[in-house]
A and B are shown apart, each in its own frame.
Chain A
Amino acid sequence: MSTPYAKLPAWADYGLIPVINLAVAFVVAGFVVLLVGENPFRAAAVLVEGAFGRGQGIAFTLFYATTFIFSGLSFAVAAHCGLFNIGGEGQGYIAGLGIGIVCLAFDSVLPWWLTFPLAIIAAAAMGALWALIPAYLQAKRGSHIVITTIMFNFIAASVMVYMLVGMLKPANSMAPQTRTFLDGAQLPKLNWVIELFGAKIRSAPFNITFLLALVVAFLVWVLIWRTRLGYEMRTYGHSPKAARYAGISETRIIIVAMMISGALAGMMALNPTMGDQHNVALEFVSGAGFVGIAVALMGRLHPVGIVLAAILFGMLYQGGAELAFEMPAISRDIIVIIQGLVILFAGALEHMFRPYVQALFASLSPRTVGMEAVKGKGA
């Protein structure tokens, strides 16, 4: 995407502008809270208190954040290659199939530290395969990736319903879900890390997948900014024509980027299944794939930003649950609204406040924005 605007110092570009966008999103959400007759400031206080006030809240916040780190990274990898992967939800959902099969097969024979790597491979492979078809169709037949990935979300949902009411369900059960995994497929909790700091936790699903998410975030950074493949992906994302001219294979780069993106989306399924519920149930992804879009846009497609944004959204999810409990007029769906507003202001309207910020910087010190020579242009 070309920006017809002058440059800002990096800290303003990566720090100030996202913060302004986020602040506006929250102000608008505050008006919605007013509309239902509650005090937005008290609501915000309850939300933050619920997310970080007690050890229990922190553990839940980080548990939610784990899933969002994966889905955010998934969206970001595709976005760096100029592809809008809206199919993270479906790729994560179908990955539950791989996880389910691995866990049901091995949970009675292997310890968790052997099941876990197998499940990671299965989840990543299923997610990548589910992204492969839209990627191939985009690369070879020119069908729009956004539409095909949306369609694949619905197809994934149908496949999973079919599998869960059929093969994966234990014969004597009515509920459309697998049986509960045995110890060999239950991931160890990380709650003791928070308890080291003196907090008490009754029970929270915060588990070892969080560490995996951090490692994967680092690997994504290495991939995008320190490898040849990442460079090619960014080149293609900036200018497909330039990439073609440089001899980068269009088909290869689209398919590789989408498969990595799909694999990351698939790995997001590990956290709620093996880490928390210990089964694969209907709708277990519950929108986390879409949250990844907001997380990635908020984090400006950089792994560090994504981890921070994921924690922010984890906070919203955990705090939102507390909020719904404390203030009956506000339901948990306030999070969905905030999510939408963040996507709107940090994604679609990301340049709305830029001219004002630029004007401000220009009036304070023209040199920082490089506006001396080209005064008045751009902004």
Chain B
Amino acid sequence: MDMFNAIVQVLDSTIRLSVPLLLACLAGLYSERAGIFDIGLEGKMLVGAFAGAAAASVFHSAYIGLGMAILISVAFALVHGFASITHRGNQIVSGVAINFIAAGSTIMLGQAWFQQGGRTPALASDERFGAIIWPGADALRSVPILGPIYSELISGHSVLVYVAFLAVPFTWWVLFRTRFGLRMRAVGENPAAVDTAGISVAWLRYRALICTGVLTGIAGAYLSMVQNGGFVKDMTAGKGYIALAALIFAKWKPVSAMFACLLFGFLDALSIRLQGTPLPLIGKVPVQLMQALPYILTVILLAGFIGKAIPPRAGGVPYVKER
């Protein structure tokens, strides 16, 4: 029974840890499917986290915080678009720039506005997104097996967690069942064909980037307003890159993206859980190895040893009308 409870706990923290990855991963899915490589997920998530926590603590409302996170994150996405769509700049260079500007400005503004060494004030409970307890969760807790699963795993998360998991089927539907999705996929594969059909490539890509901004904003808000009661500097800590890795791992498909993020979240949860405890058969696994595992797996996948990841064909290439 102890073993079972431990498993439920690890799975519960898997969900919590994979939510920001999942949101960022889906965000990347929109932009990359539209043909824009997005190294800047990290930065957009970071500004979202900062804007969310800052606005929530100033206006004392979690929803204003969330709105602000989305707004600022979209603004950064549009800067990325302005550089890489309108001015046909290098998408990777502009993404790197976004990350730097985000890292610097969040700390500097945080320090100047709140004077807590780059942190925002700790958020009160009504300024955060609290847990939603599903009906009957407490009553069913004592039921063996199903009880803990229902009350720990399914119930008791914040609204953003459910938003993240609902975003998966929604993204699938947008991508594969709507006209916008079809065109977006087309613009990532063959923008010239879309252009010939009389549809604006630039406007489509901008819309995809707005979707990216919205999702990274929610991801940021989750980090600073759910997982942590306030913004801490550099709190994304490479999650944007892991999300990028998960996106490649998932071969740019929404449902696979969810499983990839759950896998990476599970590795993270496991490495926290297993710190210092030896495993049967293997012995003590260094924490660093567990932490590096998502990256190592991605490299192996990219090398084509586990299936082949083929990116959208027009990704990374600015579209030039007329040759």
Contacts and interface: CB of A to CB of B under 8 A. Distances in A.
A1 B309 CA distance: 25
Contacts of A141: 302-304
Contacts of A293: 93, 96
B104 A334 contact: yes
B296 A350 contact: no
Contacts of B111: 329, 331, 333
B230 interface: no
A330 interface: yes
Interface stretch (B150-158, B192-200, B287-295): B287-295
B39 A146 contact: yes
Contacts of B11: none
Nearest to A166: B286
Interface in A262-276: none
Nearest to B242: A154
Nearest to B311: A144
A190 interface: no
Interface in B274-297: 286, 288-289, 291-292, 295-296
B108 interface: yes
A151 B295 contact: yes
A101 interface: no
B245 interface: yes
A118 interface: no
A247 interface: no
B32 to A, nearest CB: 11
A333 B108 contact: yes
Interface in B151-201: none
Chain A, interface residues (CB within 8 Å), range = 35 or more
B90 A32 contact: no
A321 interface: no
B238 interface: yes
Interface string B27-69: 0000000000101000000000000000000000000000000
A37 B298 CA distance: 44
B90 A347 contact: yes
Given A32-B105, A349-B83, A297 B302 contact: no
B289 A158 contact: yes
Contacts of A150: 39, 241, 244
Contact of B92 (A84, A335, A340, A350): A84
A318 to B, nearest CB: 17
B247 to A, nearest CB: 10
Contacts of A290: 96, 100
Interface residues of B, number: 50
A167 to B, nearest CB: 12
Interface in A323-367: 329-331, 333-341, 343-344, 347-352
A159 interface: yes
B241 A154 contact: yes
B294 to A, nearest CB: 8
Given A158-B289, A335-B104, A348-B83, A151 B112 contact: no
Contacts of A341: 97, 101
B99 interface: yes
Interface in B59-110: 79, 83-84, 87-94, 96-105, 107-109
Contact of A86 (B92, B118, B311): B92
Nearest to B105: A337
A176 B36 CA distance: 40
A349 B87 contact: yes
Q: Which of B102, B111, B113, B302 has the most CB of A within 10 A?
A: B302
A333 B87 contact: no
A351 B88 contact: yes
A152 interface: yes
B320 interface: yes
A248 interface: no
Interface string A132-158: 010001000111101110111011001
Contact of A348 (B97, B288, B292): B97
A35 interface: yes
A174 interface: no
B100 A336 contact: yes
B245 to A, nearest CB: 7
Given A331-B108, A331-B111, A143 B93 contact: no
B89 A351 contact: yes
A2 to B, nearest CB: 9
A37 B289 CA distance: 45
Contacts of A294: 100
The list of the 5 closest CB pairs from A to B, nearest first, reads A340-B100, A336-B104, A348-B89, A348-B94, A337-B104
19 contacts: A1-B90, A86-B96, A137-B302, A143-B299, A143-B303, A151-B295, A151-B302, A154-B241, A154-B292, A293-B93, A333-B118, A334-B104, A336-B100, A336-B104, A338-B104, A339-B104, A347-B89, A349-B83, A349-B94
Interface of B: 37, 39, 79, 83-84, 87-94, 96-105, 107-109, 111-113, 118, 238, 241, 244-245, 248, 286, 288-289, 291-292, 295-296, 298-299, 302-304, 309, 311, 320
Given A162-B289, A334-B104, 8 more contacts: A137-B303, A141-B303, A143-B302, A293-B93, A333-B107, A344-B79, A350-B89, A352-B87
